[in-house]
């Protein structure tokens, strides 16, 4: 996850964040260097203790205060309408009940608040999609529950958030893991 090309994506996805941010799937904190100084505080949600260990040095060096607040994106420890932005990168592929997580994200965002995301998912190319479906059971076992074939754009749109920006493209590397959904969705 620490690739240079992914760092460029992280920089774009984080660029317009400010105020109170909740990051779902905080992992090893690779987005920390990209938080703008306009971010007041980041609340981190992630179940992985290993991720916390890997993140410790980045968290300690962060200009923006980071606080761990929860373990599961399906149940966010935040009041309704309380968060300016939710950030999620390469995590919606893994959360078991992704629709529930998106519903939680919508619940905690304030009206006008936005979800900023960069995720891999289902390709529109039939041949790639066939392999994504075929390989997902193995990928789930090998990569901590990661699905290759989630239609991320559709899932975000179905959550009731309004997609105001969505860029799709293949990132570097194999197409089955590299079809990207990078965007912003707003709560009305």
Does position 1 bind ligand SAM by CB under 6 A?
yes
Of these, 20, 46, 119, 182, which contacts ligand SAM (CB under 6 A)?
46
- Which of 53/63 has CB closer to ligand SAM? 53
3 to 32: interface string for ligand SAM, x by CB under 6 A: ---------------------xx-x--x--
Place of tokens 């707003």: 186
Q: Which of residues 113-142 bind ligand SAM (CB under 6 A)?
A: none
| Whole-number Å distance between alpha carbons of 94 and 176 | 15
CB 22 within 8 A of CB 8: no
User: What is the nearest approach in angstroms of ligand SAM to the Cβ of residue 176?
Assistant: 15
Helix ranges (H only) for 62-151 are: 98-108, 126-142
Candidates 81, 58, 83, 57; CA nearest to 69 is 83
The two tokens of residue 81 are 């309408």
Contact residues toward ligand SAM (CB under 6 A) are 1, 24-25, 27, 30, 45-48, 51, 72-74, 89-91, 94-95
């Amino acid at each position: 996850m620490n690739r240079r090309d992914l760092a460029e994506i992280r920089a774009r996805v984080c660029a317009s964040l400010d105020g109170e941010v909740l990051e779902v799937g905080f992992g090893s904190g690779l987005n920390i260097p990209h938080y703008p100084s306009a971010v007041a505080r980041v609340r981190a949600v992630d179940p992985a203790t290993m991720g916390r260990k890997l993140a410790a040095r980045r968290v300690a060096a962060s200009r923006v205060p980071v606080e761990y607040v929860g373990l599961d994106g399906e149940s966010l420890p935040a009041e309704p309408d309380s968060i300016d932005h939710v950030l999620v990168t390469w995590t919606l592929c893994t959360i078991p009940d992704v629709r529930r997580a998106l519903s939680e994200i919508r619940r905690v965002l304030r009206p006008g608040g936005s979800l900023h995301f960069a995720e891999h998912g289902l390709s529109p190319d039939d041949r790639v999609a066939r392999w994504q479906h075929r390989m997902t059971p193995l990928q789930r076992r090998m990569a901590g529950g990661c699905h290759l074939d989630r239609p991320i754009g559709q899932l975000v749109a179905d959550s009731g958030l309004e997609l105001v920006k969505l860029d799709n493209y293949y990132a570097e590397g194999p197409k089955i893991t590299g079809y990207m959904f990078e965007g912003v969705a707003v709560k009305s």
